[in-house]
Structure 1
């Protein structure tokens, strides 16, 4: 069992009262933490990876000693390539054992920068320039993926990159696939001047003892981009102390060294890296990564329960979208080893929570965190503790959460009372106070009272100290000055048996500024009409102003890699739809060709002519709306 019971709100205060965070004297660096675990756990399994999802497919397991040695070799390699403590090693990789080696080696030698390989080359290039990366670890050309092509194209846009190290996933395949890949491998033509080497060969050439002095104390060890899907990412800075804090929480409150976790989440995101892997590293537990794409991998959902049986998994790491997909499949294996499932990244609809626990008999625990705070903030109590379904639980030990109202400069205007909604603000060892983002301008106004990180999430704290997320501050729908929380609309629609997920936003309106609209994704095989959903919304949404003006059924809602509904894409669709309807109704020979994000103006509708255009008339029609527009060249 975990070292500390975490069954109720009072446990947080009890744990804090034992020792201050500083008195706990945790390892000061990632190398110290890695060495401590390798010395203690030695030959015990640390990480397992299988490139295919079948329960009998080939897998590679690294012991803690092997992971230590490979990570030290990688650190030595990076240092030999000119990476110092303030220099950056970026990796653009799917999940694999090499990804973890690059992660740990990068943190020990310098600053590691995981990058989402699903981004396009321009976006990746922008992140590489922002972080000034010197070394990039990425894939060697491989069938059915364009990661290698995008990475080399991005490196050409980032002049500081001097070395590219390639990982060949072919080594994980068996006969005959491993013979076919070299014959059909896509050719990647580099246009940059960086030196290209094989990652595994270069790592193997290094000694397994650290060839340079470890850092003497706390420092920035990781850069994680947040956003980025618009092409303008913000880069958050994570320190050793914040990373170690996240690992300590997981290892002491969530699971123990005997646990085996399955984590089909991407290793470019803080959930998989800090919440899962750093906790596994601290506890000396075992984590399984199925397929390079995790939950997105071929057959992962179909084989998921069989993988649980294969690895005797006791702890599932998941997100609401994955839970919804799993609930559309039978539990077709022996899952008696399971103890807990931990869900994060987005609020979990109550109906989905109930369905999962009924189908699996497994306790489902919701947690909350964010990239800017290194990650963890709160979770519902583990085991038999008092879980409040729909809340994200009790703030962790050494985490102070306040619900505040603050102005643009971070001056606190009011501390909200019990159950009063305001902005969730956090102070804990994971918050790099004053320096959350690499761009100093983006830190302005980010801290309330010069202590609390402003999360941008709306929430409340109830009389028992449980935290409830009610929406995003920037997601508020403002209808004629009336604030509407999109969560009210989403929760109502999610209660319909045919609805898997819902996303509510404000669509432009010439009179009210914004009107609520909603997009829904249906459960596989379910049928319902938009008219029926509208009638359902009118019945279930008690605030008249919050009833959607428009409901659209989509095949799949746009989502981030960890399952959050990606609302900027919904806003783009709504702007184009509303503006085009207004232009058509006015008889204008113009249409919205695309909606793009401007750094200064936000979302901008770009127009193209479809015939002879009265530009003044178009300006008059669209001038009735608040969102800007411009003509394409």
Structure 2
């Protein structure tokens, strides 16, 4: 087995397990870089990642029961990018590691620790973008620990809090906002299961008396649906938590506050390149703040909204690109200076998020969409998020995503992909119903011209909707109809 030294890359290809937490702290103390590999990835995605970050060692399990993938067989394939001697399987136990540790002297450990700096890179997280090849964000001690600590401050954590984290540790949300936020305050980290399982999450909250729960909106939707149909769980211990990773519908947030009784739930907004969280609501914010904003910048960080063409700061209430600066901004993309310069201004260290947002007079941020998702129809700028938020208020709609498709007349037309609630399909709901729902509520030019009803959406391994793929599918289907 290879020896791991400072600056070596160690790939961790695991579901949520306690070993993940140990490995994060062990590699950080050693000065090695933990490379977070999504446990849902298959061979092609793994090879793409390893092409970007040539790890010295992969720590994984022989079989992933979540994806039903035989990792041992996959990693012994001739096309793999890593030698067999550089794979450690958890099923083989930790005996070898313990025995090897006996050969490391206290002097060696002391020398390593004395060489470490606060801004050394210790973690690589892969971006979960919906287009293009994967990029590897390089995060430091300073990035992760400060982001985690001030997220915990915003949540009001103390050593008495017990945080339930069903979010994947391969993502910043699970690692930074989950593991490190909890432990930075001396609290208790509760890992309910290796992957998200509703019943195990609810059981963990009840049995462990969890006070905080993290999750993406679809997790909370699933939990709420489960509570309708199953025996009651005692969730009275829950006080706070964080919803992030995607837009949270108004109805879902209202039910979290009322049905789950999490009165101090917060909304978080961030990205991998910002080591987790950029902005967050406060535990005592009003309901309207929860529903319409992502809160304010984390303590001791900066946010500005700029005109994407001139880079000048826009007036309060005007839409522009959200830029941020502070301890949470990544060091850069691993060995990709070109991509780093496109997003991170070299002198000022402002990071361009690619998100369109508005800042109000009280410094609260409302994210209105992605620059690349902006639709221009007949010269009118249309932000899909506004239409998506409105359509999700229809009782039959479970989830909706709006894209732009080419139009000879207007340049672009709107198309809505709609997933209906399962209990709504007995009473047919079609595009006429949804168009009528939009009439007199939103401008006519914002009402989608084309509609597609689906069971699921194309998604990345982290659950983000692939709008570029949706656009390609839609264009092809429309051409075939002609």
TM-score above 0.5, yes or no: yes
Alpha carbons of 1:481 and 1:202: their partners in 2 closer, same or farther (altered >3 Å)? Answer: farther
Q: Which residue number in structure 2 is paired with residue 574 of structure 1?
A: 474
Which residue pairs with 1:477 in the alignment? Answer: 375
Following TM superposition, by how much is the alpha carbon of 1:245 offset from its aligned partner in structure 2, in angstroms?
0.8
- The alpha-carbon distance between structure 1 residues 421 and 146, as it changes in their structure 2 partners (threshold 3 A), is same
What residue in structure 1 maps to residue 341 of structure 2? Answer: 444
Taking the aligned partners of 1:150 and 1:543, their CA distance within structure 2 comes to 56
Give the match for residue 438 of structure 2.
538
Q: Which digits, 9 at most, give the CA deviation of each residue in 1:205-263, with x for residues without a partner?
A: 24488652224312111111113776710111101110111122133332111111111
Alignment of 1:252-291 (within 5 A): 252-254=153-155, 255-291=157-193
1:267-322 Cα shifts (integer Å, max 9, x gaps):
110000111111122112112222222x2xxxx22454333111101001011111
- In structure 1, stretches of 5+ residues that fail to align are 1-79, 169-197, 586-633
SS in 2 for 1:317: strand
> Pick from 315, 325, 328: which aligns with 1:430?
328
- Taking structure 1 as the reference length, the TM-score comes to 0.69
Listed as ranges, the gaps of 5+ residues in structure 2 are none
Secondary structure of residue in 1 paired with 2:305: strand
CA deviation profile, 1:463-496 (whole Å, cap 9, x unmatched): 1110110001111112244321001110111110
2:129 and 2:253 map into 1 onto residues whose CA distance is 30
Matched ranges for 1:356-435 at <5 A: 356-363=256-263, 364-383=265-284, 388=289, 389-407=291-309, 412-432=310-330, 435=332
Q: Which residue of 1 aligns with 2:11?
A: 90
TM-score with structure 2 setting the length? 0.89
Could you tell me how far 1:330 is from its partner in structure 2? Answer: 2.1
1:314-371 CA deviation, whole Å, 9 max, x = no partner?
0010111112222212271111111013101112122221122121221221011110
Note the C-alpha offset of 1:107.
Answer: 2.8
What is the rounded CA distance, in whole Å, between the counterparts of 1:455 and 1:342 in structure 2?
21
In terms of Rg, which structure is larger? 1
Structure 1 residue 324 corresponds to structure 2 residue 247:
no
Q: 1:493·1:536 contact (CA, 8 Å) conserved in 2?
A: no
Matched, 1:354 2:233: no
User: Of the candidates 395, 399, 408, which is equivalent to residue 501 of structure 1?
Assistant: 399
| 1:555 equivalenced with 2:455 (yes/no) | yes
CA distance in 1, matches of 2:100, 2:436: 64
Please state if 1:463 is matched with 2:361. yes
> What are the equivalent positions in structure 2 for 1:589-600 lying under 5 Å apart?
none
Give the alignment's Cα RMSD to 1 decimal.
2.5
Separation in structure 2 between the aligned mates of residue 397 and residue 87 of structure 1, nearest angstrom? 32
8 A Cα contact 2:130 2:466, kept in partner: no
| Number of aligned residues | 464
Task: Tell me the distance in 2 between the aligned counterparts of 1:160 and 1:240.
Answer: 29
Aligned residue in 1 for 2:211: 314
**Distance of aligned partners of 1:510 and 1:302 in 2 relative to their CA distance in 1, 3 Å threshold:** farther
Distance 2:191 2:459 in 1: 21
1:86-133, Cα deviation, whole Å (9 max, x unpaired): 220011111111222222223333111111122221221121121121
Deviation at 1:555, TM superposition (A): 1.4
